[in-house]
Amino acid sequence: MDRAAIVHENFLRRVAAGALPPGNPPAGPLAPEQAVSVFRSGCLSRALDRKSRSMQAAGQGFYTIGSSGHEGLAAVAAALRPTDMAFLHYRDAAFQIQRGEQVPGQSMAWDMLLSFACSSEDPISGGRHKVLGSKALNIPPQTSTIASHLPKAVGAAYAIGAARRHRPEHAEMPDDSIVYCSFGDASANHSTAQGAFNTAGWTAFQSVPLPILFCCEDNGIGISTKTPKGWIAANFRARPDIKYFACDGLDIYDTYATAQAAAAYVRTRRKPAFLHVRTVRLYGHAGADVATSYLPKAEVEADEANDPLLHSVRLLSEAGALDTDQALRIYQETNARVERVGDAAATRPHLRTAAEVMASLIPPKRACKPSNGPTAEARVTAFGGDLKAMEEPQIMSRLINWALTDLMLAHPEIAMMGEDVGRKGGVYGVTQKLQQRFGPDRMIDTLLDEQSILGLAIGMAQNGFVPMPEIQFLAYLHNAEDQLRGEAATLPFFSDGQYSNPMVVRIAGLGYQKGFGGHFHNDNSVAVLRDIPGLILAVPSNGADAAKMLRECVRLAREENRVVVFLEPIALYPMRDLHAAKDGGWMQRYPDPSEVIPLGEVGCEGRGTDLAIVTFGNGTYLSHQALPEIESAGIKARVVDLRWLSPLPRAALDAAVAGCSNILIVDETRRSGGVAEALMAHFHESSEAKLARLTAEDSFIATGPAYAATMPSRDSIARAAIALAGGDA
């Protein structure tokens, strides 16, 4: 017999015999009818676990991670409000079911069984995954990547306070709500989780409101690795500014009373708390996991003897809320109902085609109040003396600063966050004066943790803000990249487009910095960004384009709910000249705020048909430098600036190179996994032109005189162009 059957038989036998596990008497504020409701939720959660296993065995269900042993979490749900956004551990079916009791019109069993069956009618993921989640219950679905939901939960808690100060048009969370975030005991060790606890404490330590209730469901084990006894309490009992509460998750009365006290603390003090709930894990980790293969049988049996549903039967009976016969009947009726409903759910349709699966990669658009842009007076106040400077050509970093200013004036829901973005105005001065112009609420100097920066952005977006997080250098994105890949980009996908977290991530990056160097400040790989479905990657090559593209990026986030990465080539921030000192050839005037470069529109300069150089970022600048030499070799050329690296603007590229006999791709990212690989493949499929590519070496970048040695240069571009197009030189 498998453990699920053993636990079931134990329950029936022990309840019938009145052989219930001992424990404290029922105590605290849980009212009898509420206690019965919590028990019903536990029974439903258990019955769903059993059914998910039989559905899997019958080929009707797929993923079987369960909640058995964690039914006490229903009592936590009962202590919260359904408007408290909940970022849930995967074992929280009972929590979700109980929350469903607080909102009229829910059909939790049916909904969850559809999710087990991966039916396209599953209301949360549309058949994409077995996930907990519900728009009506304020439960965004979570991926199973351990702890990756904690940074955004902290961000969402911050966003409640931020929205009290500036309420965005699309705000969803009530001012007096709190955020709830649960996870397992092993997950609490993950550096992502630890970073989130630290960020919560760091924020609250400064008396900034951060109403979050963390909940650790401590069953003492993570798959097969035990959590040392006492570790969670020792770790969390005395964290600065995170108040610790502990309860016995096998006792719904104790759990309810403690959760209520913890929630009241968070709600009234607007500070973080940590609720430590002791649970057991029944049935092993997930479907195929056999706990007795790594745990002594006696230990597994000891947990089974502590089945929380058995504890509840005793407590309810002692409280006079329900006698054991009634409890047994509820359990059996629930099982029978789930059997019936599950069989019906198994007949519902599935996703079939790629188009159906992909339908929610890009979230639906949202209606936004029209903005006429800032008034002339508001611009005078914000820009001051800069208005005069707008009449003259300027460097890129200045034009980006002005574009950001105009965007923040036009859209009060924009907030920026990052290391040194506020007071200092960024390492390169790109965000200078923005904190003076818009205040520290909208220009947030964060702590040093990229996961927290992106988590803050995701969480704020879920409360209607348009966040523009900054990652100081591209090389520092990588330790936090999962927040984009595994969290931000997947949220619309797994929620069938019901949740989104629009944002424009600004990242300073790429190579060619003369004075400031090494790989850490000159990272020239964008491979990790280019293959994230739904993510837009933009790279401007000059200041005017940067301003016009930024406006489009913000529009895409604000109106179309998109996740956009705007990669700013650092070496071009201060670039003034193109061919000779003081020629000012790479500076532009600030484009009027109405001017926009739409997504997918590439740049094209020149009309030559002998050669199209297709490039982006620094490559565009260097190709322009190389043009005179190429043309003096008798080659008539054009330079096509890709601008939008992902998704590749295929039709616009084809139009831009139409009629050209040769295409040279100049790519400052690496030969392996670089942008040129995609461009070569594209043109190979779409064009008759002769193709060649010039890329960076498969190397990291060095500091000192060899700072650009591994990348394309003006000279190497000219040589490659002439070699390809066969000039007369």
CB of 185 to Mg ion, least distance (A): 4
Q: Are 500 and 363 in contact (CB under 8 A)?
A: yes
Residue carrying the six token digits 């003259």 = 392
| Nearest CB to ligand TPP, comparing residues 14 and 91 | 91
CB of 455 to Mg ion, least distance (A): 22
| Nearest CB to ligand TPP, comparing residues 90 and 616 | 90
- DSSP 3-state of 588: strand
Residue 614's DSSP bridge partners are 640, 665
Of these partners, Mg ion, ligand TPP, none, which one is at the site of residue 146 (CB under 5 to 8 Å by kind)?
A: ligand TPP
Residue carrying the six token digits 């998109």 = 562
Residue whose C-alpha is closest to residue 334's, from 654, 93, 568, 687: 93
| Nearest CB to ligand TPP, comparing residues 63 and 244 | 63
Q: Are 115 and 125 in contact (CB under 8 A)?
A: yes
Cα separation, 179 vs 271, in Å, equals 11
| Nearest CB to Mg ion, comparing residues 65 and 357 | 65
| Nearest CB to ligand TPP, comparing residues 76 and 313 | 76
CB of 222 to Mg ion, least distance (A): 5
| Nearest CB to Mg ion, comparing residues 89 and 562 | 89
Of these partners, Mg ion, ligand TPP, none, which one is at the site of residue 471 (CB under 5 to 8 Å by kind)?
A: none
Name the burial class of residue 714, with classes exposed (0-12), middle (13-18) and buried (19+) by CB atoms within 10 angstroms of its CB.
middle
496 lines the binding site for Mg ion (CB under 5 A): no
Q: Are 286 and 2 in contact (CB under 8 A)?
A: no
What are the Cα distances from residue 538, in Å, to 38, 504, 599, 649, 729?
A: 50, 10, 9, 11, 36
Of these partners, Mg ion, ligand TPP, none, which one is at the site of residue 120 (CB under 5 to 8 Å by kind)?
A: none
| Nearest CB to ligand TPP, comparing residues 145 and 716 | 145
Cα separation, 245 vs 657, in Å, equals 65
CB of 484 to ligand TPP, least distance (A): 15
What are the Cα distances from residue 553, in Å, to 419, 544, 546, 557?
A: 21, 14, 10, 6
Tokens of 552: 């489009």
CB of 279 to Mg ion, least distance (A): 8
Q: How many CB atoms lie within 10 A of CB 384?
A: 13
Q: Which helix (H) or strand (E) holds 179?
A: strand 179-184
342 lines the binding site for Mg ion (CB under 5 A): no
Using CB atoms, what's the residue nearest to Mg ion?
184
CB of 169 to ligand TPP, least distance (A): 35
User: How many residues make up the chain in this entry?
Assistant: 729
CB of 229 to Mg ion, least distance (A): 13
Contact region for Mg ion (CB under 5 A) — 41-49, 179-187, 586-594, 672-680? Answer: 179-187
Tokens of 492: 């619309």
CB of 150 to ligand TPP, least distance (A): 12
Of these partners, Mg ion, ligand TPP, none, which one is at the site of residue 187 (CB under 5 to 8 Å by kind)?
A: ligand TPP
Cα separation, 44 vs 486, in Å, equals 30
Of these partners, Mg ion, ligand TPP, none, which one is at the site of residue 714 (CB under 5 to 8 Å by kind)?
A: none
Of these partners, Mg ion, ligand TPP, none, which one is at the site of residue 144 (CB under 5 to 8 Å by kind)?
A: ligand TPP
CB of 382 to ligand TPP, least distance (A): 43
The dihedral through the CA atoms of 158, 163, 164, 170 has a sign that is: negative
CB of 184 to ligand TPP, least distance (A): 2
Q: At what angle do helices 32-57 and 308-319 cross, to 10 degrees?
A: 160
185 lines the binding site for Mg ion (CB under 5 A): yes
Here's the x/- map for Mg ion, 241-270, by CB under 5 A: it reads as ------------------------------
CB of 69 to ligand TPP, least distance (A): 9
| Nearest CB to Mg ion, comparing residues 219 and 695 | 219
SS (H, E, C) 634-676: CCCEEEEECCEEECCCHHHHHHHHCCCCEEEEEEEEECCCCHH
- DSSP 3-state of 24: coil
| Nearest CB to Mg ion, comparing residues 186 and 653 | 186
| Nearest CB to Mg ion, comparing residues 232 and 660 | 232
CB of 186 to ligand TPP, least distance (A): 3
| Nearest CB to ligand TPP, comparing residues 112 and 171 | 112
Name the burial class of residue 618, with classes exposed (0-12), middle (13-18) and buried (19+) by CB atoms within 10 angstroms of its CB.
buried
CB of 221 to Mg ion, least distance (A): 5
SS (H, E, C) 233-302: HHHHCCCCCCEEEEEECCCHHHHHHHHHHHHHHHHHHCCCEEEEEECCCCCCCCCCCCHHHCCCHHHHHH
| Nearest CB to Mg ion, comparing residues 189 and 326 | 189
Q: 310-344 b/e with 16+ CB inside 10 Å = b?
A: bbbbbbbbebebbebeebbebbeebbeebeebbee
Residue whose C-alpha is closest to residue 67's, from 106, 40, 87, 95: 95
Using CB atoms, what's the residue nearest to ligand TPP?
184
| Nearest CB to ligand TPP, comparing residues 89 and 267 | 89
Contact region for Mg ion (CB under 5 A) — 3-11, 178-186, 502-510, 641-649? Answer: 178-186
| Nearest CB to Mg ion, comparing residues 281 and 548 | 281
Total binding residues toward Mg ion, as defined by CB under 5 A = 5
Q: Which residues bind ligand TPP (CB under 6 A)?
A: 91, 144-146, 183-187, 217, 219, 221-223, 281, 285
Of these partners, ligand TPP, Mg ion, none, which one is at the site of residue 235 (CB under 5 to 8 Å by kind)?
A: none
Tokens of 121: 């009618």
Tokens of 632: 């003096």
CB of 530 to ligand TPP, least distance (A): 22
67 lines the binding site for Mg ion (CB under 5 A): no
Contact region for Mg ion (CB under 5 A) — 83-91, 218-226, 571-579, 706-714? Answer: 218-226
Of these partners, ligand TPP, Mg ion, none, which one is at the site of residue 703 (CB under 5 to 8 Å by kind)?
A: none
Of these partners, ligand TPP, Mg ion, none, which one is at the site of residue 310 (CB under 5 to 8 Å by kind)?
A: none
Backbone angles phi, psi at 362, to 5 degrees: -105, 120
219 lines the binding site for Mg ion (CB under 5 A): yes
Residues making contact with Mg ion (CB under 5 A): 184-186, 219, 222
